[in-house]
Amino acid sequence: MTFCLESTIIKPEKNKDIHNIIILLHGYGGDGKDISMLTLNWKRHMPNTIFICPNGHEPCSINPTGFQWFDLTKDDPNYILKEVYKAEKILNKFIEEIKNKYKLDNNRIILSGFSQGCMMSINVG
């Protein structure tokens, strides 16, 4: 199964069963690979956890090699809010896809992030 957002996925070592999922959302201009570096140390302490680090759904307007959850180039609160709602819908679909694939309930999933990704995790969470 592929998800609606391209993702870097760090699975538990030694094919351990998956009991928990941590979804990490990158900041403005970043990508899933960037934020996945956090998992290098964390996975030793959470052996039954899969880490899923999606790319934002659109290329970043100021960093063409990175992604964004919503556009920040216009200084218009109504426009930004509309873009945030669009990103929330995509993230909710993504989370549902993950729940269906791994057969875990909400209480086994953590949604977190950095900078713009943190804002999205607060809104969606």
Tokens 């964004």 correspond to 68
Domain ranges, residue 38: 7-124
In a domain, residue 2? The reply is: no
Residues 6+ apart with CB under 8 A from 24: 32, 35, 36, 38, 39, 51, 52, 53, 112, 113, 114, 117
In a domain, residue 87? The reply is: yes
pLDDT tens digit string along 61-72?
899 899 999 999
Number of domains in the chain: 1
Position 125 scores a pLDDT of 86
Q: Provide the CATH number for the domain around residue 32.
A: 3.40.50.1820
In a domain, residue 19? The reply is: yes
Task: For the chain, list residues with pLDDT below 70.
Answer: 1
pLDDT tens digit string along 86-99?
999 999 999 999 99
* pTM more than 0.85: yes
**Number of neighbouring beta carbons within 10 Å of residue 121:** 19
In a domain, residue 1? The reply is: no
